[in-house]
Amino acid sequence: MFFQEDNTYKDIREKSLEQWLDDMEKHEDVAVRGGIPLIRDYLRTLQAENRRLADENELKNTYLRKMSKREK
């Protein structure tokens, strides 16, 4: 509650994925190289959706807290 969230694992995982995608961009197979921009775009879409859902969840939690205080 009062502690800062530890994102070490998440940061390492994202950097590892980025490194792997960078390596795949240099792959000799054109099909592999050509799919990397699509993967990066899909990942951005998923991250945006996660942020949207987190915001929506926070909004619902705030509303529920206000409603529970009102009932008392």
Reported as a single tens digit per residue, the pLDDT across 7-57 is 899 899 999 999 999 999 998 988 888 899 999 999 999 999 999 999 999
pLDDT range class, residue 5, cuts 50, 70, 90: confident
pLDDT of residue 49: 98
pLDDT of residue 72: 64
How far CA 36 is from CA of 15, 40, 47, 55, 63, in Å, comes to: 15, 6, 17, 29, 41
**To the nearest 5 percent, what fractions of the chain are helix, strand and coil?**
85, 0, 15
pLDDT at residue 2 is higher than 70? no
Q: Show me where the domains of the chain are located.
A: 16-71
